[in-house]
Structure 1
Amino acid sequence: MSMAIEERIEAIIQRIQPETHCRNKYGKEATLKERMRYYNTPGVSIAVIKNFKLEWARGFGICEAGKTEPVTETTLFQAASVSKPVFAVAVMRLVQEGKLDLDRDVNEYLTSWKIPSVSGWQPKVTLRHLLSHSAGVTIQGFPGYERTGELPKLVQILNGQHPANTSSVEVNVIPGLQFRYSGGGTTIAQQLVEDRLNQPFAEIMSELIFTPLGLTNSTYEQPLPSQRHEATATGHPWKGRPLPGKWYVYPEMAAAGLWTVPSDLARIGVELQLILKHHSSGILSAETLNEMLTAQIENHMGIGFFLEGEGEASRFGHNGWNEGFVSRFVLSKHHGYGAVIMINSNEGNALLGEIEHAIAREYGWLGYSPDQINVDVSPNILKEYVGDYKETPGLHASINLEGNDLALRIQEQSPIRLSPESQTKFSIEGLNASIDFERNSDGQVVALHIHQEGRAFRLDKTFD
């Protein structure tokens, strides 16, 4: 590995910025080792993509607390819900080959089990619904099974029958109207693929994804075959305590069952990025992949992948959480960069974002560092915003000029300085909130909107 890459790795692991409760504000820089200690996290494994190539992969820390086996780039981790987008890619290969229809009622494919009716009404659910989490089905996630316990069959999981440890998977809201994350929906899709191809699921995934890409450190086999046990990390839910039995078993393979290494996931990512770059065909055609990366019911969800950022900073990816393991898979849509981060600790979940931002800072990824906004708003416009504003239920606020800046006062709170982001939008310094002003068709300022925590509050300007 070149000296330049080694220097970049060193810059990343020596300059982790702890996140704070405020957007774009960070705590004192620390080393990766210090942050792992803070989060009681024994091991971390990272792969970084640059210019449509895997640039480096490396393990940090140890496989199990209290032991000495180091994490290397070939140490297996549970990918948890990152299993889902990899599965979705496989499903889209089958759609592309004409073996499945994305918009056909899945009950026409299912033979081992059917989506049950609801009070005599039979919902129509499609693969598009299932893979974009808009099918209206239940069960967000799965807790896993101890290795020594009895394992349920997939149909038992779908029916919520012993020895399954979750309730039945069923429709309880109208399909196709809203996003609601559902591992249960992915499990229905797994059963459909098994029924359609009449093969063990792990074999299907190997044939469709791993073998074509030459990936030897990835498998959906559950339980994990004994010959792979020595290459695995141990899960640590909290306080650095190893899981009894080292890891849990997830028969819900499509939703949570992938064992892999960051470099294998990165190679899948590079394959997808090259398809987008060259508008060519690989394991998918460009047309099929672009359909996956098109927002479905809600803007943040495609088919299998979550969608992030805008324009040139657009990204797609997924996070994962199993008992004792967390993961992050993120890919640039346009610029051939990305990363995979896998951790053997639930307590280390926040470290995923800290590492991602350290990588993004070092490599200059778009959309991560807050842009320096230098907007000049004329004093005449600022004066037009000054005044009192009220909401019908009784919320009231005032906007005043303090020197050359606007200040917002809400109820009996002290005034808060506003920073312009545009001629009409202002951020509230130190808080995760912003406001914008509304004008009527005559150009008169008539209201302001306060935005925070996903909510908006409208206050009308009062006129004497």
Structure 2
Amino acid sequence: MRRTLPRLAGVAVASCAAVAFLTAADTRKPTTEWLVRPSEAARVARVEAGLAPATLPGEEPRHLSVQQWMELYGVPGLSVAVFEKHALVWAKTYGVKQAGGTEPVTIDTLFQSASISKPVTALAAMRYAEQGKWSLDADINDKLVSWKVPENDFTKEQKVTLRRLLSHSAGLTVSGFPGYPVDAPRPTVQQILDGAKPANTGPVRVDLVPGTKTRYSGGGTTVVQLMMMDQLKKPFPQIMKETVLAPLGLKHSSYEQPLPPALAAMTATATRGDRTSVGGRWHVYPEMAAAGLWTTPSDLARIAIEVSKAKAGTSKRVVSQAMAKQMLTKQSETFGIGFQVWDGTDRFGHGGSNEGFRALLVAFADSGSGMALMANSENGDLLIERVGASITAEYGWKPFKEQLQEPLVMTADLLARLKGADAVLTWYEARHKAGPAEGLSPGILNQVGYSLLWAGKVPDALKVFEANVKHYPADANAYDSLGEAYLKAGKNPEAILNYKKSLELDPKNTNAVRMLEKLGARP
């Protein structure tokens, strides 16, 4: 499954009955709230009142509450924390732990942080680098014991290093991991890295010259996990607890996969795009460094605050000022060490997307401000973007405000959600006639197509994906997505044709190769 708009991961499309919901009474209320001072309540209220309205072409904007947006997007629970001047100022939760349930989310409810696990792992790796346990720039194979990164032509002159692994520039494959059902066999870290059964992802290998290109690789972070275990001779969750979680007093955070019963009882349940709960409540991620951190927004806020304090030289509970500055300085096109960083600002952070969970951490190092938001739904990105934009406006974080303007994909999603696939295609055709300056891209219809596909509306999804390849006949990902929709519809010959077309346009499309092999067709 390949997406071109990673910030807005899968959203499910509700029935057109949602139109009537927009005028329904709002009866659900937030369940818990923590404020550093009573006056902060006014700012929280302005955040809730400042959500961007539902805007459809030719119609008046309609303002919805947080709870109404949650209902529209099918998000059972949301948890938010905001910090300023290196201190948590408020935390608030909405909704329930499980779709269809009644137990409310509280500020201590644990969510999977998904890829936000990576920069927290980087903090631990940097602490030990500072202690001389390993080097940032030596060949990582010098420290790997139980497995080695296979050498090839790409590694003849440039080597895979810790700095490159943590800045996604080591040239390694496997961007992310789907996790494992709770009752499924789970692979060892070595099996994951070799793509050996029961691993459900391909082998982690170098297929670009290290240091030449930024390419997101959860596989690379898994190499870091194994190196740390090999060198420290401890289970990874213990390493992270001793190095980061305990020193920062994070009592509601753990890398244990699966969680022990006491912590498992405090978790939210993962929710699919079609509003159903994930079997077994959530997936398990043996790729702990890349995706395994269970936590709360308040604990994520405390991590970001510590990094900001370290950069300012006012704390060194995990890393020194020099190391913090390295972490927040670009090491590749878009990443520092662990954290994503942005040109011309002091902004750093990361997003997270696991099966049934979405999360976002945004911070500003110089002011010690930022926010963390977590949702137990694959539709959570859409809600997180909207709430995050309102928080940004209230607190005046201008560098981030520019990143959260309502994109066209939001309009397309609302049209599909409220009026159906035909309405989206009619709107898209009208804009397309105005030319490329209108800001359209194949990612917009691709996103809506997956929305429909995940909601079980396969014929509508096919209609949208087919329109996408019509508009963008040279886009490999459009054909890849259409192939997936045909596969979902049980039309294997059509799926094979589209995967082959995608591979013809993009010979490096490993997903198409894997799917063709699965379908018994030669790539």
Q: Which residue of 2 aligns with 1:82?
A: 116
Q: Does the C-alpha gap of structure 1 residues 20 and 135 become closer, same or farther in structure 2, counting only changes over 3 Å?
A: farther
Is structure 2 residue 86 aligned with structure 1 residue 36?
no
Is structure 2 residue 292 aligned with structure 1 residue 260?
no
Using the alignment, how far apart are the partners of 1:345 and 1:50 within structure 2?
Answer: 27
Using the alignment, how far apart are the partners of 1:118 and 1:47 within structure 2?
Answer: 46
Larger fraction in helix: 2
User: Once the two structures are superposed, what CA deviation does each residue of 1:201-246 show, in whole Å capped at 9, x if it has no partner?
Assistant: 0000000001111111000001111121210000002122111110
Q: Secondary structure at the match of 1:213?
A: coil
Using the alignment, how far apart are the partners of 1:98 and 1:236 within structure 2?
Answer: 43
Q: Which residue of 2 aligns with 1:131?
A: 166
Q: Which residue of 1 aligns with 2:362?
A: 330
- Cα deviation for residue 308 of structure 1 reads 2.4
On the 8 A contact 2:189/2:286 being kept in 1, the answer is yes
Selected match of 2:386 from 351, 354, 368 = 354
Q: Which residue of 2 aligns with 1:318?
A: 350
On the 8 A contact 1:15/1:32 being kept in 2, the answer is no
Q: Which residue of 1 aligns with 2:179?
A: 144
Using the alignment, how far apart are the partners of 1:309 and 1:72 within structure 2?
Answer: 36
* Structure 2, gaps ≥5 residues long: 1-34, 404-432, 442-523
Q: Does the C-alpha gap of structure 1 residues 281 and 140 become closer, same or farther in structure 2, counting only changes over 3 Å?
A: same
Matching of residues 57-456 of structure 1 within 5 Å: 57-118=91-152, 124-278=159-313, 281-298=316-333, 300-308=334-342, 310-311=344-345, 314-369=346-401
User: Once the two structures are superposed, what CA deviation does each residue of 1:48-72 show, in whole Å capped at 9, x if it has no partner?
Assistant: 0011100111211000011100000
Using the alignment, how far apart are the partners of 1:282 and 1:129 within structure 2?
Answer: 25
Using the alignment, how far apart are the partners of 1:287 and 1:253 within structure 2?
Answer: 27
On the 8 A contact 2:179/2:283 being kept in 1, the answer is yes
Q: Does the C-alpha gap of structure 1 residues 157 and 366 become closer, same or farther in structure 2, counting only changes over 3 Å?
A: same
Q: Does the C-alpha gap of structure 1 residues 120 and 87 become closer, same or farther in structure 2, counting only changes over 3 Å?
A: closer
On the 8 A contact 1:15/1:30 being kept in 2, the answer is no
Q: Kindly report the root-mean-square deviation, in angstroms, between the aligned alpha carbons of the 2 structures.
A: 2.5
On the 8 A contact 1:57/1:73 being kept in 2, the answer is yes
Larger fraction in strand: 1
Using the alignment, how far apart are the partners of 1:121 and 1:90 within structure 2?
Answer: 26
User: Once the two structures are superposed, what CA deviation does each residue of 1:318-353 show, in whole Å capped at 9, x if it has no partner?
Assistant: 000000001001110211110000010011212222
Q: Secondary structure at the match of 2:246?
A: helix
Higher relative contact order (CA 8 A, sep 6+): 2
- Cα deviation for residue 277 of structure 1 reads 2.7
Using the alignment, how far apart are the partners of 2:137 and 2:369 within structure 1?
Answer: 32
- Cα deviation for residue 297 of structure 1 reads 2.4
Using the alignment, how far apart are the partners of 1:161 and 1:21 within structure 2?
Answer: 48
Q: Does the C-alpha gap of structure 1 residues 349 and 290 become closer, same or farther in structure 2, counting only changes over 3 Å?
A: same
Using the alignment, how far apart are the partners of 1:95 and 1:362 within structure 2?
Answer: 39
Q: Does the C-alpha gap of structure 1 residues 104 and 318 become closer, same or farther in structure 2, counting only changes over 3 Å?
A: same
Q: Secondary structure at the match of 1:321?
A: strand
Which structure's CA Rg is the greater one? 1
- Cα deviation for residue 431 of structure 1 reads 5.3
In the alignment, residue 282 of structure 2 is paired with which amino acid?
A: W
Q: Does the C-alpha gap of structure 1 residues 333 and 71 become closer, same or farther in structure 2, counting only changes over 3 Å?
A: same
Q: Which residue of 2 aligns with 1:443?
A: none
On the 8 A contact 1:81/1:319 being kept in 2, the answer is yes
Q: Secondary structure at the match of 1:186?
A: helix
TM-score, normalised via structure 1 length: 0.76
Q: Secondary structure at the match of 2:247?
A: helix
Q: Secondary structure at the match of 1:3?
A: coil
TM-score, normalised via structure 2 length: 0.68
Using the alignment, how far apart are the partners of 1:432 and 1:278 within structure 2?
Answer: 45
- Cα deviation for residue 31 of structure 1 reads 1.3
Using the alignment, how far apart are the partners of 2:259 and 2:82 within structure 1?
Answer: 26
Using the alignment, how far apart are the partners of 1:85 and 1:432 within structure 2?
Answer: 33
Q: Secondary structure at the match of 2:39?
A: helix
User: Once the two structures are superposed, what CA deviation does each residue of 1:74-127 show, in whole Å capped at 9, x if it has no partner?
Assistant: 000000000000000110001111111000101000000000122696562100
Using the alignment, how far apart are the partners of 2:135 and 2:128 within structure 1?
Answer: 8
Using the alignment, how far apart are the partners of 1:258 and 1:142 within structure 2?
Answer: 14
The alignment-based identity, stated in percent, is 43
On the 8 A contact 2:154/2:210 being kept in 1, the answer is no
Q: Secondary structure at the match of 2:45?
A: helix
The range that moved more, 130-139 or 350-359, is: 350-359
- Cα deviation for residue 355 of structure 1 reads 1.3
User: Once the two structures are superposed, what CA deviation does each residue of 1:341-392 show, in whole Å capped at 9, x if it has no partner?
Assistant: 0010011212222111111111122324469xxxxxxxxxxxxxxxxxxxxx
